[in-house]
């Protein structure tokens, strides 16, 4: 196969392979693919044999044969461990398998070999974001933008990190820069929606979430984001619908938590408890799901189970959410021994909305956001 590919002009083969990654139709199918910008093309100084190897690896990637690509690049790098671009290609394949620590290691090798390799910094930013290493991720995106100030993807990924760090205004500015530069990843309107909601600008957030859903009607992520916004705006029936629809389209566990939040407010406690249980199966120990399940258990009369969930949640809450947690838990404990009146109190105080508010920017490290 390498010989057959090698007969065509190498530059044309590489351009064709890369064009697969940049086509809009594949943007939501491959997270890592979207991270490969045109400036990540093989070095002009690549030898003929290197270019053939790159083309073969890119072909395997485009066919989603990630294990075969990794095996091929393992062999290639065993004979040439000084090839930064080969480490970069292997990192992209490993990313698809969720091997983020190995991805991080390969990208670090690539950067050591080629310190000005901006796409490697950007990809490491995305990888560290997936790992929950947000401060280091931001540093990598900063470095990518220092090398290439017009890198729209780096602005988008840095915006994602800033959301996690609690800076929605800065994130929104980065998302807008990314869109102005014109080569932004998919779901940019949904990203803006999240930042605007974090700023309390729900009117703008509504507009951007609607645009996100309209632009990509078959993608579950915009629906999940809109469900989160609707929960914050107390539009619980709509949130329930969007969360359920996103799950039908293949959404990850976050939609279960959005649906649980809506079900609590709609006094559908049994359904909320079921969704919280499913979420905890995917993300054991998650504090927000534990709180949702605690509410369901308390209303059902399972006070011991509710108290156990509250204590587990307390141990898992991050320092950034301490104030919100203490406020919520004070309300919860007042109601814990008066379960028949809990539904009325929840509608008046709307304390479970704190689940959605506390969760602004929340992303469990074990859950991979599909937004790229």
Lowest mean pLDDT among 32-46, 172-186, 216-230: 32-46
Task: Calculate what percentage of the chain has a pLDDT beyond 90.
Answer: 48
pLDDT digits (tens, 9 = 90+) for 27-72: 333 444 444 544 556 777 888 889 999 999 999 998 999 999 999 9
- C-alpha 308/C-alpha 290 separation (Å) is 9
Lowest mean pLDDT among 42-46, 105-109, 156-160, 339-343: 339-343
Given a cut of 60, is residue 321 above it in pLDDT?
no
Is position 48 within any domain? yes
Is-contact 261 285, C-beta < 8 A?
no
- C-alpha 260/C-alpha 121 separation (Å) is 37
Is position 341 within any domain? yes
- C-alpha 194/C-alpha 192 separation (Å) is 5
Is-contact 55 47, C-beta < 8 A?
no
pLDDT digits (tens, 9 = 90+) for 85-110: 999 999 999 999 889 999 999 999 99
Is position 265 within any domain? yes
Range of the domain at 34: 1-115
Task: From 85, 115, 145, give the residue that closes a domain.
Answer: 115
Lowest mean pLDDT among 19-23, 95-99, 228-232: 19-23
Residue 173 — pLDDT band, cuts 50, 70, 90?
very high
Is position 205 within any domain? no
Q: How far, CA to CA in Å, does 235 sit from each of 138, 210, 213, 242, 369?
A: 34, 15, 17, 11, 23
Is position 294 within any domain? yes
Question: Residue 37 is part of a domain; what is its CATH number?
Answer: 1.25.40
Number of domains the chain contains: 2
Is position 132 within any domain? no
Is position 196 within any domain? no
């Amino acid at each position: 196969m390498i010989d057959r590919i090698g007969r065509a002009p190498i530059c044309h083969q590489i351009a064709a392979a890369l064009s697969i990654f940049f086509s809009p139709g594949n943007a939501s199918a491959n997270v890592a693919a979207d991270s490969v910008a045109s400036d990540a093309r093989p070095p002009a100084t690549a030898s003929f044999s290197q270019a053939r190897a790159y083309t073969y690896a890119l072909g395997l990637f485009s066919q989603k044969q990630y294990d075969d690509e990794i095996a091929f690049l393992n062999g290639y790098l065993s004979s040439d461990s000084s090839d930064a671009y080969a480490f970069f290609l292997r990192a992209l394949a490993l990313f698809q398998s969720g091997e983020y620590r190995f991805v991080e290691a390969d990208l670090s090798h690539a950067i050591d070999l080629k310190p000005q390799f901006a796409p490697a910094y950007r990809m490491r930013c995305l990888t560290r974001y997936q790992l929950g290493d947000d401060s280091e991720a931001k540093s990598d995106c900063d470095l990518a933008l220092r090398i290439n100030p017009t890198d729209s993807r780096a602005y988008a990924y840095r915006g994602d990190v800033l959301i996690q760090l609690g800076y929605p205004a800065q994130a929104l500015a980065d998302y807008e820069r990314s869109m102005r530069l014109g080569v932004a990843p998919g779901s940019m309107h949904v990203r803006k929606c999240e930042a605007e909601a974090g700023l309390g600008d729900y009117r703008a957030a509504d507009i951007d979430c609607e645009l996100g859903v309209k632009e990509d009607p078959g993608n579950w992520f915009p629906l999940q984001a809109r469900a989160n916004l609707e929960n914050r705006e107390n539009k619980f029936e709509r949130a329930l619908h969007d969360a359920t629809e996103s799950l039908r389209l293949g959404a990850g566990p976050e939609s279960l938590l959005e649906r649980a939040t809506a079900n609590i407010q709609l006094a559908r406690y049994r359904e909320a408890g079921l969704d919280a249980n499913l979420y905890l199966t995917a993300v054991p120990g998650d504090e927000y799901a534990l709180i949702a399940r605690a509410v369901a258990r308390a209303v059902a009369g399972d006070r011991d189970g509710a108290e156990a969930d509250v204590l587990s949640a307390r141990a898992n809450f991050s320092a950034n959410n301490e104030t919100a947690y203490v406020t919520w838990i004070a309300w919860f404990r007042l109601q814990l021994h008066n379960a028949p009146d809990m539904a009325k109190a929840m509608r008046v105080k709307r304390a479970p909305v704190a689940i959605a508010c506390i969760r602004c920017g929340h992303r469990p490290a074990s859950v991979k956001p599909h937004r790229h």
